[in-house]
Amino acid sequence: MDSKLSFYSLISKLKWPKGYTGKIFLIAFIGTHIPLIGLFIYLTIYFPVEERVSILLVVLVATVVGASVTLYFIFRLLAPILMTNKAVIKYNSDKKIPSLPKHFKDEAGVLMANTQKCIEELDDLLKLKNRLIAMVSHDSKTPIGSIKIANELIKDELQGDNPDLEDIFKYIELIEISTDSHARFLDNMLTLARFDDGEIHLNKKEVAPEDIFNKLAKNHKIYFEMKGIEFVTNSELPIGSKLNIDVEKMISVLNNLVQNSIKFTKQDGKIELNLKEREGRYLITVKDNGVGIAEAQKETIFSAFSDSSQGTKNEVGSGLGLWIVKVFTDLHKGEINFESEEGKGTTFTLSLPKS
């Protein structure tokens, strides 16, 4: 045990007073009466009885008044500790976040501020845990259920007299979509865990813009076909140009931006991806003619677990996609901005340094 707690350990064993505040009052009371005891002994030895009484009476009154004032202000000074204790107990029982002050600079003030911070962070973690559990439970059911259904339909076709290969390939595509969706969801969960642990790092290498465009087109081919979306890519960079980026992370960024556009673009819509160079930076824009972003959602759109609206075909999301876009863009020392108008569409602009 820390030697600094030795006296506290001794005092805490007292049966009376039981409370910490009472023990402080007891020590203060003894301390304020030591001069009175010393004076009483001195008067007993050196002064006659008739003189002792008047002196002791005056000193006793002064001591009682002084002790009362001292104990009162000690009680007031203990208020931060009492408030902190009450706040912790209240949060533990009701899960209501207290409002402890944070502007005091001494030890008691810092204790209140740190307690408030710890409770707020703990509450965020508890909410994150509950949301993660709910999200994993919800988002895992849809792709797994789709795979099971597609598997049963394929078995039914193969057991028939004249299997329809076109239908079978459609069911296989459905399995691919569902597997893709689930893999992306698990990747997002892994990114979240690594981000909290500070374990996300860049692994840059050169890649041709066409390779990125082809990868994106392949990743979302089925989704484009399902909603009849036209996907247009364009690069204004000189032929043979290379981007120096973490390819996997930037593919994840663009996957999430394109997937977001698909989600909120209506049937037979259009999504454009453009790449150009301006003032020593690469600018990548993902533009759609979808439903746009509601004004109320614009401030929190890049936050983890931001409220995710349903898509034009009731598609649901985890609320992590655009947060991952922001995290990976920041890692590249880039910037992500957007312009959006409800009913007309959204344009995300990604700005990255060339090196």
301 vs 311: CA distance, rounded Å: 15
Torsion, CA 260, CA 266, CA 270, CA 271, rounded to 10: 0
- 162 burial level (CB within 10 Å; 0-12, 13-18, 19+): exposed
Round the average pLDDT of the chain to a whole number and report it. Answer: 83
305 vs 320: CA distance, rounded Å: 6
Please give the pLDDT value at position 350. Answer: 95
Please give the pLDDT value at position 223. Answer: 81
Please give the pLDDT value at position 338. Answer: 94
Please give the pLDDT value at position 53. Answer: 76
Does the structure show a pLDDT above 60 at 233? yes
Please give the pLDDT value at position 134. Answer: 64
* pLDDT (average), residues 87-115: 89
Question: pLDDT tens digit string along 193-223?
Answer: 676 666 677 889 999 999 999 988 887 887 8
Candidate from 126-140, 164-178, 319-333 with smallest mean pLDDT: 126-140
Structure tokens at 332: 């590249």
Phi-psi category of 95—alpha, beta or left, where left has phi over 0 and alpha has psi -120 to 50? left
CATH code of the domain made up of 205-353: 3.30.565.10
In the structure, what pLDDT confidence band is assigned to residue 288 with cuts at 50, 70 and 90? very high
- For 126-129, the CB contacts below 8 A with 24+ separation are 126/95, 128/305
Does the structure show a pLDDT above 80 at 351? yes
* pLDDT (average), residues 136-157: 75
Could you tell me what percentage of the chain is helix, strand and coil, using 3-state DSSP and rounding each to the nearest 5? 60, 15, 25
Alpha-carbon Rg for the chain in angstroms: 35
Does the structure show a pLDDT above 90 at 276? yes
- 35: amino acid identity, one letter: P
354 vs 276: CA distance, rounded Å: 11
Instruction: Enumerate helices (H) and strands (E) in the chain, giving the number of each.
Output: 10, 7
**φ, ψ (nearest 5 deg) of residue 234:** -155, 135
Please give the pLDDT value at position 140. Answer: 66
Whether pTM exceeds 0.85: no
Does the structure show a pLDDT above 90 at 308? no
- Say which residues have a Cβ less than 8 Å from residue 187's Cβ, sequence separation at least 6: 252
Please give the pLDDT value at position 196. Answer: 63
Please give the pLDDT value at position 136. Answer: 66
The answer to whether residues 247 and 280 touch, using CB atoms and an 8 Å cutoff, is no
33 vs 66: CA distance, rounded Å: 10
120 vs 88: CA distance, rounded Å: 11
199 vs 194: CA distance, rounded Å: 5
Question: pLDDT tens digit string along 8-67?
Answer: 777 778 788 877 778 888 888 888 777 777 877 877 777 777 777 777 777 778 778 877
Q: Where are the domains of the chain?
A: 3-120, 205-353
Pairing mode, if any, of strands 243-245 and 270-278?
Answer: unpaired
* pLDDT (average), residues 105-116: 89
Angle 169-181-253 from CA coordinates, rounded to 5°: 125
In three-state secondary structure terms, 233 is strand
Does the structure show a pLDDT above 80 at 231? yes
Q: Which residue has the higher pLDDT, 16 or 282?
A: 282
Please give the pLDDT value at position 18. Answer: 79
In the structure, what pLDDT confidence band is assigned to residue 337 with cuts at 50, 70 and 90? very high
Question: pLDDT tens digit string along 246-257?
Answer: 888 898 899 889
Residues composing the chain: 355
Please give the pLDDT value at position 307. Answer: 64
Please give the pLDDT value at position 305. Answer: 66
